[in-house]
Structures are given as structure tokens and as C-alpha cells.
Structure 1
């Protein structure tokens, strides 16, 4: 079993997401991360899918994805160096006593404060999956009230 990040350019039509996710689920693949958004062309969306599974089955899925009518292009990042990022919003318990510590911790992880209330702070961080996991671990002792996390986004690393 291995983790794969796949980028799929699709025509921006209703039902495309359902057909593509159905292809993975019908093969017993669990999608661990899914992000979909329009590209610079409003008629095209990019799906970034992270899956865990067997190489042979994934190769079959990639071939089948290329045959779907809405699919323009499929990129399996297995053979290419890539840049991956996620985003997280965290609401953390805070008081006047510990607010400075939370701000310092956020600074270490390049997080931004996006909201402050009398008893909590909301921080935003963009980074790799592991750096976000580390940030969450460091904030747990302060009391995390809520976590909202995006899926993975990825782009091939420029070779020029």
C-alpha cells in the first residue's frame, strides 16, 4: 500500500465529482483527501485526490479516469516531485494569561491570528500535513475548541 496524490482536470459540470469519487469507491479505495476548485478557466475544475492503496488497482483507476467524458487530464504525482499544502483553522481556548504563548507558538509555525474573542483565539496555518499535525499537537495543551482542515492541494515542482 502506498499514498498517491492525483490531480484531475475536469469539465466544470454537475455530476463530475460523483462519477470520479464513485470510481474510487467501487474499487474499494478510501479517498483520504479531496479538494475541488475552479481553475483560472471557469469551465475547468481541478480535483486533488489523495488515496491509499495498491499500485496495480490505482493504475487501473487512472486509466479509467482518462476515459471518463468529463476528464480533461489526469496527473499521478507518484513519479514527479510535488509541492503539497493543507490549510487549518483552529479555535483555541485563551485567556490574558496564555494569549502571548499562543501568539508565540503561532509565530513559530507561521500561523496568523484571524479572530480574537474574550475566551478564545482563531489561528490560520498553511503548511505540509506533518507541520499542521505538529502545530495541532503543540496547541492541544491550551485546549482546542474546534479544528477545520482543508484537503491537500498539490502542484508539480517546477523543473526550470
Structure 2
């Protein structure tokens, strides 16, 4: 079972290391972790996707909540949140294959962000299932490289907004 957590943390040196250290010390699995600026530069928004059974996922939430730098933690329930991921895919494509790849990118509302003589790079943003679907259909081409960001997300509406972030 997988669960996504949205954390608002103090923007202090080593905070990401302390959070990931908690996972490794306890033997918890991190499927993806992303971090970036929030509305206030004093805070960082971190999204963690973790795997485990219900008991382990509850323990993860409790242990992370105890960390000094953590302001708030919220579970990003799929029906109550917007989750996205970014992927860059470098595909070998000669002139003859390029038209087919352009058609595929249009179907998925992706962008071609770089074109060379023998390759192109596709940028696609969406849910994990959308990105996985694109990759399944792109298997007919030679995929040279892939870079994936991992999931980032926010709760819908005002639910799950940390007080400090909401009022500034």
C-alpha cells in the first residue's frame, strides 16, 4: 500500500537529511521524495510517498510529526488532493519516427522540449498512471534516458493548509 504525505517544514539546513534519516533508521521505504519552496521562504514543502502496511504507514506519520522541524503533516488522499509528477524522456527518433512521436506527445498533451538529429526530449506532467501510460506506448521506440521527479501534491480547498502558510 502506498501513501503520500505533504509536510511543511522549517527551511533549515539538514532538514531533508533528518527526515530521510528517520526513514532509514526505522527501515521504512521511501518511494519518492520532493522538496521545494512554499509561500514563505522560512518554510519548505516536502512530499513523501511511502510504502507499507497500514500499521507502518501510521507509524511513519507519527514519527515524522515528532521531528522538531516539521510544522505540519497531512496525508494526501487521492480524492481530496491534486498530485502530479514530471517526467523527461529522451527518445531515439530519426526523421521518419519523429512524426509518430509528435502524434504520441499530442495525445498525452506532452511537450517536445528538445530536438536533435537522432533524438528528442519529451516533457510530460500528470498523474503516475498517465506517465506510466505514456511510457507503455513509447516502448516501441528506443528510450535513451528517463528522469522522473516523483510525486508532489497539495490538498484540495483549504483543508490541510498550515496556519502560517494560509495567513501570509
Q: TM-score range by the shorter chain?
A: over 0.9
TM-score by length of 1: 0.93
The answer as to 2:129 corresponding to 1:130 is yes
State how far apart, in whole Å, the 1-side matches of 2:59 and 2:116 are: 50
Structure 2 unaligned runs (5+)?
A: 160-168
The number of residues matched between the two structures is 159
Q: How large is the RMSD of aligned CA atoms in angstroms?
A: 1.7
Structure 1 unaligned runs (5+)?
A: none
TM-score by length of 2: 0.88
Structure 2 contact 51–57 (Cα < 8 Å) conserved:
no
State how far apart, in whole Å, the 2-side matches of 1:142 and 1:99 are: 10
For residues 106-129 of structure 1, the C-alpha deviation after alignment (integer angstroms, 9 at most, x for no partner) is 000000010000001111000110
For residues 72-121 of structure 1, the C-alpha deviation after alignment (integer angstroms, 9 at most, x for no partner) is 11112248621111000011111111111100000000000100000011
State how far apart, in whole Å, the 2-side matches of 1:135 and 1:150 are: 16
Q: What corresponds to 1:115 in structure 2?
A: 114
Q: Which runs of 4+ in 1 moved over 4 A?
A: none
Structure 1 contact 80–156 (Cα < 8 Å) conserved:
no
The answer as to 2:84 corresponding to 1:81 is no
Structure 2 contact 47–153 (Cα < 8 Å) conserved:
yes
Residue 89 of structure 2 aligns to a residue whose secondary structure is: strand
